[in-house]
Structure 1
Amino acid sequence: MLFCILKNFYKDIFSILIAFENNFQNILPSIKKLVYVYLVRYAEEQQDLALLSISTFQRALKDPNQLIRASALRVLSSIRVPIIVPIMMLAIKEASADLSPYVRKNAAHAIQKLYSLDPEQKEMLIEIIEKLLKDKSTLVAGSVVMAFEEVCPDRIDLIHKNYRKLCNLLVDVEEWGQVVIIHMLTRYARTQFVSPWKEVVMAVAQLYWHIAPKSEAGIISKSLVRLLRSNREVQYIVLQNIATMSIQRKGMFEPYLKSFYVRSTDPTMIKILKLEILTNLANEANISTLLREFQTYVKSQDKQFAAATIQTIGRCATSITEVSDTCLNGLVCLLSNRDEIVVAESVVVIKKLLQMQPIQHGEIIKHMAKLLDSITVPVARASILWLIGENCERVPKIAPDVLRKTAKSFTSEDDLVKLQILNLGAKLYLTNSKQTKLLTQYILNLGKYDQNYDIRDRTRFIRQLIVPNEKSGALSKYAKKIFLAQKPAPLLESPFKDRDHFQLGTLSHTLNTKATGYLELSNWPEMAPDPSVRNVEVIELAKEWTPAGKAKKENPDKKFYSESEEEEDSSESSSDSESESGSETGEDEEDSSGDSGGDSSESGSESEAGKKRVAKSSKAKGKGTPVFVPGKTHVLLHRMSGKGLAAHYFFPRQPCIFGDKMVSVQITLNNTTDQKIENIHVGEKKLPVGMQMHVFNPIESLEPAGSITVSMGIDFCDSTQTASFQLCTKDDCFSVSIQPPVGELLLPVAMSEKDFKKEQGMLSGMNETSTTIIAAPQNFASSVILQKVANVANVGAVPSGQDNVHRFAAKTVHSGSLMLVTVELKEGSTAQLIINTEKTVIASVLLRELKPVLSQG
């Protein structure tokens, strides 16, 4: 309602903004957003009044809520008033160092807006882009690369240190960000690599096409064909790319020939593109099948498609000589078709084919001459007249009669047909002057007074050339050679032949012309540039930072820990320091310099901040113990499938002895046969990328009715992907798989209520997922909630000073990201389930699993 009022009375509403200005902090966030939208829309019309709100935005940039900070920056950068450029620059600088990746993402968007408003700020914006390119958050990556492409696409040196990081982040970036990064990396690779070795190839179609060797590029064909199941807009772009590829590499798409058959429901633009691809893929082996398919297409009610099919048949006839006669005979049969458009298109194609072998087909020319009485399409009539004129000496009886008929209708013919009548008359005048001299002079007289100046010009030219007089020049002697010279046969080529120099998937490739803003791919360099520019300098971190003037205090409980635990801690800290080297060092330097304080001075990314929080939590709070260990087992191998060998597995919820990042899995093997089973071991492993597995030692033998329990460790990489492997015996191998529930990917964390609230505040906004639960009041007892939550997830209980709030804390096994679960009881029979974590995918899955468990009785 408010937005409608603002929209309808925008000329007078700026006076109300002063009232908003004075009480902006007390306004609801939803109202703030509407005011923001209004300001963006109408600020340019009343710039002086719009400037009143700038101070409000500056205060909003310091708001604790990251959504408010991001909205303020977004609106401030959208107000196109040149006088506030310095304020915008300062706001972008501060936002680029914000703790929230969402705010940093909006800072990257604001860079593009500021650059379009004031291009002179380019150098300062490049410095911010360079800083944001080092950001490790997937939320920021796509936006900052877009800003890079907009502001300084030629500064390839900024990409060197971030090249490998962008490649690694690519799979986790949102879709539009992936598109931008892929295009940028494609341009980058073409300037940095000498030849298309597979080390530089990524799993993207256009990247494979432009960079990969031919032996590797075939992998993209199946993926592109699969995209043809999408909507027509996607099909159109994909088919254009395939049409370009199929010209040079037919073998890539030949196995999928039937996928390009035309369907009756396809729109015309899709049908024509599929025809183009079928033509490119045609060869001696499949041409007979394709011609039968084309015969069906010619009968289509879509006349444009039918005409395109006839053109396709002509191209097949020129490219595959074995079927030239077959195609020509088929086209001649089409001359008797009832549809005039089909006949006309057939005439045009036959004319092109006859140019290649005119001597052999005199009968066809005679047949086409008879069609002049019925065909009215100008292009077809002009083609017939051109053919008769070129072969007038082979049809001496027919050509003069055709000239006589066309002379009668000369004044009513199309301009294209008139030109060919003039040419026919000139050729017959030179070869059969006795019969056609008067007819030709009559036609020349008609052309002399035609309304079209091209016709009049051609008439005067021909008269001076073929009718000698005192003013005739030397060219008159060569008139016959000029008019009856052997013409080269036309080349029937694909319209996609020259599109391969445009980058696939771009607007320029689609339009077949260079679009504004298109960046051409560079040629491969003769010598490879120095590859060391992409090496990132690793700075070793200090083990522990101590403020100046304070002595380091020894931990009084240090002696309590065993040597083995100390070794594990040291190895863990060293591995953490390697993965977080660059950005943490930069933050330590900023803190020690003392130049600035507060949140705005920290420039770490979302994942980096999460790792630091977990590191602090693990040191200050320590590892928790499982609240509850469910005894539920899962079938790994049924005794019928395993030929008597049965296997079950369960998750004991204890630290894995094989690695800190692995989930402990216990497998119970049972021999249900009356014979012993020998050499039980794990065979071939089929694991997703990044997943690791530590298998149990081979079991020499398992006695009849015997049972044994073994332990394994699996690094699921914080995902619920299946770990597939083979469980083998001496004689057989059985394919089995383990899929972890999301709750088993966690380890409990012990922390105080104060620490919980602090961590929860840092994981708000985009990192918070919540839902409402409805259940009977008896299901909301503390013991019931504790048991139900612990049954689903391996979490630790956090002490709570409120009876209606239950808190649980855990961290993911692989990355150590905090997972905070809150169940807040409301009035009646409702409760609020809240999960705070950087791992939003895991949070959504855990939310779906907890909700029905807490709701049921």
Structure 2
Amino acid sequence: DKRGEDGKMLPEMILVCNMVRMELENPNEYSRGSALRFVCKLHDADLVEPLVSAILPNLEHRHSFVRRNAVHAIHHVYAKFEHLIPDAPEIVETFLNNEVDLACRRNAFLMLCQCDQDRAVMYLLQNIAEVPSWGETLQLSALELIRKVCRQNPMQKGGYIRIILALLQSSGAAVVYESANTLISLSNAPTAIRAAAQRFCDLLSTQSDNNIKLILLDRLIELRKNHLQTMQELLMDMLRALSSPNMDIRRKTLTLAMDLVTNRNVEDVISVLKKELLRTQSSTDVSPEVLYEYRQLLVHALHSTAIRFPDVGPTAVNVLTDVLGDSFGPATTDVIMFVKEITEILPELRPGILEKLLDALPTMKAPAVVRGALWILGEYSETPQHLRHAFITIMENVGSLPLATTKPDLEDEEDPSDTLKAPQEKTVVLADGTYATQVAEESATLHTSQ
């Protein structure tokens, strides 16, 4: 314990204070920095008071490590024992105006934000033109101050929009993300929402971390709820996230995209979906299960788009029928089911669908796909021309009748005697009830000519 029974500081603690004070004046900068960090853990005014005079000179030390920790120590002392350094905000503000090290400036600005907010706001407004050139950590501290001030006084929001818009163009991803979030919290204007959402989309295509992409998609989904029209304008930028191999990102992107499809962008969306569907055919860097799942997502997206927007039905059907070949695996079963549904719901598309099915029939290998295609052709081929064309195409692909497994022809130079098998014997019952032995020879080749 640092105090005796009478509550007064023990005499031994004077030795502790002297030791810490000597470390604060040590020529070695790392000893000074460690001593300043130790001061931040002292919570007794009687221990801290003798050290104040040794802490302040460290703000002018040549090494940034010492200056950085000196600001921390002053912040701690002022927050716990304001009477020991009553002019700490003024001292730190002067230090901030003259300091060039980024970490030192960040610590000093953060100290002002927490201990003297008005002074921090004044410093921010005086240096508004320099904010874009500040370091990333200092810019994040400025954004935190802006949010804090605007929560306390919403009428001041307009004065900080300029700073936020400038920080939206920062090269740091964290600054851009926080700037967009701050802008959304301060303004619901379509221009502000569009600028923030655009930056989210830019980060979505440039960041490689999957967790970051999922967070960005969640933010875009939240914006969609209240700003649907604005988000629809950025749909194509969001679809760039489909280039990620992660299925969670692809699934969430397609779910978001299907809610934002309109008559103005549906053609572009179908083009992107077609491109992605064809890209899965040549993709070799993922497992077949993942490819199958992704193809199903794309097929479902195309199907729902064709149902919602009949005007683009022919384009969607063309895309779907183009992937009925065997190279697309089990997803072709879903495709033929969707083609069947579209054929039933959109009668005006039936002639085109029948033509596409007949063209794709030679490439179909899966029994379920062929069965579905034949059902559609038989059900919806109503005119004589369609019936004749369908019948001829089917017969050309079926082959000659009767349907039988053919055996390879014998070579011309083969000796007929080589095709004879050894004589076979079997016991037969004659007409009078007696038994007899029958000997027969069979040819290995079946001759059907009469």
What TM-score do you get using the length of structure 1 for normalisation? 0.27
Q: Which has the higher contact order (CA 8 A, sep 6+)?
A: 1
Higher-strand-fraction structure = 1
Higher-helix-fraction structure = 2
